[in-house]
Amino acid sequence: MSLDTALLGRCVSDLMSVNSLQQRFDVYVNYVHELNFEGASYSLYSHLHRECFADIPLTFIHSSDFPESFIEHYTAERFDQQDFTIRYNVSGQRAPMDWHECIRAGRVTAEETHVLEVARYDYGMRNGITIPTLNLPIGIAGASIISSETDSRFQALKAENLETLTQLTRVFHDIAYANYQYRDIFVSPILTEFTPKELKVLRYMASGKPMKAIGSEGISFSYAMNLLSDMRTRLGGINNDRLMYLFGLTQLLNSD
């Protein structure tokens, strides 16, 4: 297994020549295809999402050859709660995870195996690899790359190209993560869980100004305190410091 540095160099140049997150993902997918893999998907799972909004499905970006019907099934059935790749990423796993190799090694529970069997037998995703790209206080992220090749051919493909695929995926993530749209696509849906006045209180609190002076924003101090209390309760009884820490990690309160 060798690293194709020329391909990586071309990919970096192409990623930097476009601006939007979707355009950069499309560039990444083109190189996934060049390495003879097929579809790809990518997502961020923020800790704010995991800790306080577990009922909200994950948001994915994916290639046209990564079955959208599987993603719809995944989100409808909340397969993220039985996704071994999320469990391992949260625990600090950095190495690529071959789905069926992990099953054979006994690293996947029966419930997690069911998710992979649905992908394989119901949606034609015969083989797949998940490559973790992020495990920081903001959350975890990673890409899944699929193939319809036979198991033996897939292993040969991995032996030839996995190192390059892994570095390619991490290069895409590093460049995409710096894009201003990144937060908007993966994290901002959480804002729909709050009223405009709740967001105003949170943003005022994040400004560092004394809460006693919040009346200048058209909200009384007592009402603001009630809103904060309601939010803390709704988010699992967390305190103000934890509330602001989780929002601060995602930079959501910097929105207008």
β-pair type (127-136, 97-98): antiparallel
Higher pLDDT, 115 or 243: 115
Taking a C-beta distance cutoff of 8 angstroms, is the pair 21, 182 a contact? Answer: yes
* Radius of gyration for the chain, computed over Cα atoms and rounded to the nearest angstrom: 21
pLDDT band at 83 (very low <50, low <70, confident <90, very high): very high
How confident is the model at residue 49, as a pLDDT? 83
DSSP 162-228: HHHHHHHHHHHHHHHHTSTHHHHHHTGGGGGGS-HHHHHHHHHHHTT--GGGGGGGT--HHHHHHHH
Residues 6+ apart with CB under 8 A from 38: 32, 65, 66, 145, 146, 147, 148
Higher pLDDT, 59 or 53: 59
| CA–CA distance, 143 with 92 (Å, rounded to integer) | 15
Higher pLDDT, 138 or 73: 73
pTM: 0.85
Query: How many CB atoms within 10 Å of residue 213?
Result: 10
**Mean pLDDT (the chain, rounded):** 91
Backbone angles phi, psi at 153, to 5 degrees: -65, -35
* pLDDT > 90 in the chain, percent: 65
Look up residue 245 and give its amino acid. Y
pLDDT digits (tens, 9 = 90+) for 155-205: 999 999 999 999 999 999 999 988 777 877 887 777 778 888 988 898 888
How confident is the model at residue 256, as a pLDDT? 47
How confident is the model at residue 1, as a pLDDT? 63
How confident is the model at residue 251, as a pLDDT? 67
DSSP 222-233: HHHHHHHHHHHH
β-pair type (40-46, 61-62): antiparallel
Taking a C-beta distance cutoff of 8 angstroms, is the pair 63, 39 a contact? Answer: yes
pLDDT band at 208 (very low <50, low <70, confident <90, very high): confident
**Lowest-pLDDT range, 69-73, 179-183, 239-243?**
179-183
Helices (H) and strands (E) in the chain, counts: 13, 5
3-class DSSP assignment, residue 20: coil
How confident is the model at residue 254, as a pLDDT? 64
Q: What is the mean pLDDT of residues 52-74?
A: 91
The architecture CATH gives domain 5-186: 2-Layer Sandwich (3.30)
For residue 255, is pLDDT > 60?
A: no
| CA–CA distance, 102 with 234 (Å, rounded to integer) | 37
For residue 26, is pLDDT > 80?
A: yes
Q: Where are the domains of the chain?
A: 5-186, 194-254
How confident is the model at residue 242, as a pLDDT? 83
